Protein backbone atom coordinates (compact mmCIF):
# COMPACT_ATOMS: atom_id res chain seq x y z
CA UNK A 1 0.00 0.00 0.00
CA UNK A 2 1.31 3.44 -0.89
CA UNK A 3 2.37 5.63 2.02
CA UNK A 4 0.35 8.74 2.73
CA UNK A 5 2.02 12.06 2.07
CA UNK A 6 2.65 14.51 4.90
CA UNK A 7 -0.14 16.73 3.59
CA UNK A 8 -2.51 13.75 3.63
CA UNK A 9 -1.61 12.99 7.25
CA UNK A 10 -2.21 16.65 8.16
CA UNK A 11 -5.62 16.56 6.46
CA UNK A 12 -6.63 13.40 8.34
CA UNK A 13 -5.48 14.88 11.66
CA UNK A 14 -7.39 18.10 10.99
CA UNK A 15 -10.54 16.17 10.13
CA UNK A 16 -10.32 14.25 13.39
CA UNK A 17 -10.03 17.49 15.38
CA UNK A 18 -12.80 19.23 13.46
CA UNK A 19 -16.16 19.01 15.31
CA UNK A 20 -18.21 19.71 12.16
CA UNK A 21 -16.37 17.06 10.16
CA UNK A 22 -17.00 14.56 12.97
CA UNK A 23 -20.68 15.50 13.16
CA UNK A 24 -21.07 15.19 9.39
CA UNK A 25 -19.47 11.75 9.42
CA UNK A 26 -21.58 10.58 12.37
CA UNK A 27 -24.82 11.78 10.76
CA UNK A 28 -23.99 10.50 7.28
CA UNK A 29 -24.08 14.02 5.84
CA UNK A 30 -21.07 13.64 3.58
CA UNK A 31 -19.41 16.95 4.48
CA UNK A 32 -19.46 19.96 6.80
CA UNK A 33 -21.29 21.93 4.08
CA UNK A 34 -24.66 20.87 5.55
CA UNK A 35 -23.93 22.87 8.69
CA UNK A 36 -22.89 25.97 6.74
CA UNK A 37 -26.25 26.16 5.01
CA UNK A 38 -28.11 25.32 8.21
CA UNK A 39 -26.39 28.21 10.01
CA UNK A 40 -27.02 30.64 7.15
CA UNK A 41 -30.67 29.57 7.06
CA UNK A 42 -31.09 30.10 10.80
CA UNK A 43 -29.47 33.52 10.63
CA UNK A 44 -31.30 34.87 7.58
CA UNK A 45 -34.49 32.78 7.36
CA UNK A 46 -33.67 31.74 3.81
CA UNK A 47 -35.69 28.57 3.26
CA UNK A 48 -39.37 27.68 3.61
CA UNK A 49 -41.33 24.55 2.72
CA UNK A 50 -43.11 26.05 -0.30
CA UNK A 51 -40.05 27.70 -1.87
CA UNK A 52 -38.64 27.07 -5.32
CA UNK A 53 -34.86 26.74 -5.03
CA UNK A 54 -31.96 26.42 -7.48
CA UNK A 55 -28.73 24.99 -6.09
CA UNK A 56 -25.56 25.34 -8.17
CA UNK A 57 -22.47 23.28 -7.39
CA UNK A 58 -24.54 20.68 -5.57
CA UNK A 59 -22.08 17.77 -5.31
CA UNK A 60 -21.32 16.00 -3.02
CA UNK A 61 -24.78 16.84 -1.70
CA UNK A 62 -24.50 18.33 1.79
CA UNK A 63 -26.66 21.34 0.92
CA UNK A 64 -28.98 19.22 -1.20
CA UNK A 65 -29.81 16.93 1.71
CA UNK A 66 -30.54 19.93 3.92
CA UNK A 67 -32.80 21.42 1.26
CA UNK A 68 -34.64 18.12 0.84
CA UNK A 69 -35.51 18.26 4.54
CA UNK A 70 -36.66 21.88 4.47
CA UNK A 71 -38.53 22.13 1.16
CA UNK A 72 -41.77 20.19 0.67
CA UNK A 73 -43.04 19.25 -2.82
CA UNK A 74 -46.41 18.56 -1.16
CA UNK A 75 -46.59 22.28 -0.32
CA UNK A 76 -45.53 23.43 -3.76
CA UNK A 77 -41.82 23.60 -3.02
CA UNK A 78 -39.21 22.49 -5.52
CA UNK A 79 -35.44 21.99 -5.44
CA UNK A 80 -33.42 21.81 -8.65
CA UNK A 81 -29.78 20.86 -8.00
CA UNK A 82 -27.09 21.27 -10.65
CA UNK A 83 -23.55 19.91 -10.85
CA UNK A 84 -21.20 18.65 -13.51
CA UNK A 85 -20.46 15.62 -11.30
CA UNK A 86 -22.78 12.71 -10.60
CA UNK A 87 -24.12 12.57 -7.03
CA UNK A 88 -26.64 10.74 -4.88
CA UNK A 89 -29.87 12.69 -5.01
CA UNK A 90 -32.38 12.80 -2.12
CA UNK A 91 -36.03 12.06 -2.81
CA UNK A 92 -37.98 15.07 -4.01
CA UNK A 93 -35.00 16.83 -5.63
CA UNK A 94 -34.61 17.27 -9.39
CA UNK A 95 -30.94 16.80 -10.33
CA UNK A 96 -29.42 18.06 -13.56
CA UNK A 97 -25.91 17.00 -14.49
CA UNK A 98 -24.72 20.03 -16.40
CA UNK A 99 -21.69 22.24 -16.84
CA UNK A 100 -23.01 25.74 -16.29
CA UNK A 101 -20.50 27.06 -18.83
CA UNK A 102 -22.26 25.12 -21.60
CA UNK A 103 -24.33 27.07 -24.09
CA UNK A 104 -27.27 24.75 -23.38
CA UNK A 105 -27.38 25.60 -19.66
CA UNK A 106 -29.92 28.43 -19.77
CA UNK A 107 -32.37 26.64 -22.06
CA UNK A 108 -32.15 23.44 -20.04
CA UNK A 109 -32.74 25.26 -16.76
CA UNK A 110 -35.61 27.28 -18.22
CA UNK A 111 -37.33 24.00 -19.08
CA UNK A 112 -36.55 22.37 -15.72
CA UNK A 113 -37.59 25.31 -13.54
CA UNK A 114 -40.82 26.13 -15.31
CA UNK A 115 -41.07 29.49 -13.59
CA UNK A 116 -39.41 31.88 -11.18
CA UNK A 117 -37.50 31.14 -7.98
CA UNK A 118 -37.42 32.33 -4.40
CA UNK A 119 -33.81 31.29 -3.73
CA UNK A 120 -30.60 30.71 -5.68
CA UNK A 121 -27.73 29.03 -3.82
CA UNK A 122 -24.19 28.48 -5.05
CA UNK A 123 -21.47 26.55 -3.25
CA UNK A 124 -19.33 26.43 -6.39
CA UNK A 125 -15.58 26.79 -6.02
CA UNK A 126 -12.80 26.56 -8.61
CA UNK A 127 -10.08 23.95 -8.70
CA UNK A 128 -7.33 25.60 -6.67
CA UNK A 129 -4.06 26.17 -8.53
CA UNK A 130 -2.15 27.76 -5.67
CA UNK A 131 -1.73 30.99 -7.64
CA UNK A 132 -3.76 33.40 -5.52
CA UNK A 133 -4.64 35.92 -8.23
CA UNK A 134 -5.72 33.21 -10.67
CA UNK A 135 -7.74 31.39 -8.01
CA UNK A 136 -9.48 34.62 -7.01
CA UNK A 137 -10.36 35.41 -10.61
CA UNK A 138 -11.71 31.88 -11.12
CA UNK A 139 -13.77 32.15 -7.93
CA UNK A 140 -15.31 35.45 -8.97
CA UNK A 141 -16.11 34.06 -12.43
CA UNK A 142 -18.24 31.39 -10.72
CA UNK A 143 -19.78 34.02 -8.45
CA UNK A 144 -20.79 36.00 -11.51
CA UNK A 145 -22.34 32.96 -13.19
CA UNK A 146 -24.44 32.30 -10.08
CA UNK A 147 -25.40 35.97 -9.92
CA UNK A 148 -26.48 35.91 -13.57
CA UNK A 149 -28.71 32.93 -12.76
CA UNK A 150 -30.26 34.81 -9.85
CA UNK A 151 -30.92 37.92 -11.92
CA UNK A 152 -32.54 35.78 -14.60
CA UNK A 153 -34.76 33.53 -12.48
CA UNK A 154 -35.40 35.15 -9.09
CA UNK A 155 -38.85 36.49 -8.38
CA UNK A 156 -39.13 39.84 -6.56
CA UNK A 157 -38.38 39.26 -2.89
CA UNK A 158 -36.09 36.31 -3.66
CA UNK A 159 -32.65 35.71 -2.19
CA UNK A 160 -29.16 34.81 -3.44
CA UNK A 161 -26.41 33.10 -1.42
CA UNK A 162 -23.08 32.49 -3.15
CA UNK A 163 -19.70 31.26 -1.97
CA UNK A 164 -16.68 33.43 -2.67
CA UNK A 165 -13.13 33.98 -1.46
CA UNK A 166 -12.23 37.23 0.27
CA UNK A 167 -10.12 39.26 -2.14
CA UNK A 168 -10.33 41.18 -5.38
CA UNK A 169 -13.78 41.65 -6.85
CA UNK A 170 -15.75 41.03 -3.66
CA UNK A 171 -16.31 44.68 -2.70
CA UNK A 172 -17.42 45.45 -6.26
CA UNK A 173 -19.85 42.53 -6.16
CA UNK A 174 -21.39 43.80 -2.91
CA UNK A 175 -21.73 47.34 -4.26
CA UNK A 176 -23.33 46.19 -7.52
CA UNK A 177 -25.81 43.89 -5.80
CA UNK A 178 -27.02 46.71 -3.55
CA UNK A 179 -28.63 48.24 -6.63
CA UNK A 180 -30.66 45.04 -7.12
CA UNK A 181 -31.39 43.72 -3.60
CA UNK A 182 -32.65 45.40 -0.45
CA UNK A 183 -29.85 44.04 1.75
CA UNK A 184 -26.42 42.67 0.82
CA UNK A 185 -23.69 41.49 3.17
CA UNK A 186 -20.91 38.95 3.63
CA UNK A 187 -21.31 36.13 6.14
CA UNK A 188 -18.95 33.46 7.43
CA UNK A 189 -20.76 30.56 9.13
CA UNK A 190 -19.17 29.03 12.21
CA UNK A 191 -18.92 25.78 10.25
CA UNK A 192 -16.48 27.39 7.79
CA UNK A 193 -12.86 26.74 8.69
CA UNK A 194 -11.52 29.69 10.65
CA UNK A 195 -8.37 30.00 8.54
CA UNK A 196 -10.21 29.86 5.23
CA UNK A 197 -10.82 32.90 3.00
CA UNK A 198 -14.26 31.46 2.25
CA UNK A 199 -17.23 33.74 2.85
CA UNK A 200 -20.78 33.81 1.53
CA UNK A 201 -22.31 36.72 -0.27
CA UNK A 202 -25.90 37.05 0.95
CA UNK A 203 -28.27 39.20 -1.11
CA UNK A 204 -31.80 39.46 0.30
CA UNK A 205 -35.10 40.65 -1.17
CA UNK A 206 -34.55 40.99 -4.89
CA UNK A 207 -36.19 44.13 -6.27
Other C-beta atoms closer than 10 Å to the C-beta of 155 total 12
- So which residues are the catalytic ones? 163
Other C-beta atoms closer than 10 Å to the C-beta of 161 total 26
Q: Are 199 and 40 in contact (CB under 8 A)?
A: no
Q: What is the rounded CA–CA span in Å between residue 146 and residue 57?
A: 10
Q: What is the rounded CA–CA span in Å between residue 207 and residue 158?
A: 8
Q: What value, to the nearest 5°, has the Cα angle with vertex 100 and ends 149 and 94?
A: 80
CA distance to 3, 12, 21, per residue, from 7 (Å): 11, 9, 18
Amino acid sequence: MAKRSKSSHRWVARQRRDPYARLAAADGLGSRAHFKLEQLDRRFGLIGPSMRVLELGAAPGGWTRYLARRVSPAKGGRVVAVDVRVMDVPAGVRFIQQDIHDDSFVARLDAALGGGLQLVLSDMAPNISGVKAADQAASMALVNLATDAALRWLNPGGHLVVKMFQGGGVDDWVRERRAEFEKVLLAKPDASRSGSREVYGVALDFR
